[in-house]
């Protein structure tokens, strides 16, 4: 099975047109694009992505515009798009309405960060109805039994949080993360992707060598957007970072 790179950015940071250009650049080397809906209280996200949420919201980014971005992106690329959000925007729009509009726009999957798997029965049923893939997160302190339940609820991949705390760039991969990955691979039937703190080629290579089926990268891209804004330099740097990470995945796959 080919190992995957999931690339995350926040929709509307710094504006809608830029997001579309960034997605097109990332799609050259990414297997999946994860598009975050800006939220006023993104509790799972570190400072870098929190600031991106604020920038997007200040520019008037709304849920409906995220669907517009995906619809426009579909004119250029068939790279799968997974939307990441918190439950409040889904609830406000209505779960079925949200999922239906995501499907109509050309979206492929959904991550609702703060929806516990124990309370997701209706949500899962609606996602099945519209053939929208589901992704749930598991943290290092997740019990074996709960990991099994999360695995059952996932139809795309299971997203392993590689550390305690929020998203953000880290320098080193912890033993905790590698041990958790090993446990998840022993227990789970779905592909297991690792995120939170993955920011360079060496990280991607190491996780793939350790058995991950994919890696999720966000803050490393969002920092580039924060630094260079809506510019051609941003597009170039995003593409370079994405290529570097994909190369790490390919190296990790070959070395296995």
Catalytic positions are 34, 45
How far, in Å, CA of 41 to CA of 36, rounded?
A: 13
DSSP assignments along 168-199, one per residue: ---SS--HHHHHHHHHHHHH-SS-EEEESS--
80-108: burial string, b at 16+ Cβ within 10 Å, e else: bbbbbbbbebbeebebbebbbbbbebbbb
Q: Which among 150, 152, 158 has a CA at the least distance from the CA of 194? A: 158
């Amino acid at each position: 099975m080919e190992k995957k790179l999931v690339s995350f950015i926040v929709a509307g940071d710094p504006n809608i047109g830029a997001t579309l250009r960034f997605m097109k650049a990332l799609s050259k080397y990414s297997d999946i694009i994860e598009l975050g809906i800006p939220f006023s209280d993104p509790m799972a996200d570190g400072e870098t992505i929190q600031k991106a949420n604020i920038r997007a919201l200040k520019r008037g980014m709304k849920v409906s515009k995220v669907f517009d971005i995906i619809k426009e992106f579909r004119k250029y690329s068939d790279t799968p798009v997974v939307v990441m959000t918190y439950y409040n925007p889904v609830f406000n729009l209505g779960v079925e309405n949200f999922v239906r509009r995501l499907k109509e726009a050309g979206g492929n999957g959904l991550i609702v960060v703060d929806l516990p798997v124990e309370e997701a029965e209706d949500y899962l049923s609606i996602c099945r109805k519209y053939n929208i893939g589901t992704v749930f997160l598991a943290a290092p302190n997740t019990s074996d039994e709960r990991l099994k339940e999360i695995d059952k609820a996932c139809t795309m991949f299971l997203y392993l949080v590689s550390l305690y705390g929020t998203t953000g760039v880290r320098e080193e991969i912890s033993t905790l993360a590698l041990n958790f990955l090993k446990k998840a691979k022993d227990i789970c039937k779905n592909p297991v992707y690792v995120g939170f703190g993955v920011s360079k080629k060496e990280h991607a290579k190491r996780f793939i060598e350790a058995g991950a089926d994919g890696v999720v990268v966000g803050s490393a891209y969002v920092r580039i957007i924060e630094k260079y804004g809506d510019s051609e330099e941003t597009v170039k740097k995003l593409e370079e970072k994405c290529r570097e990470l994909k190369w790490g995945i390919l190296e990790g796959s070959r070395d296995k």
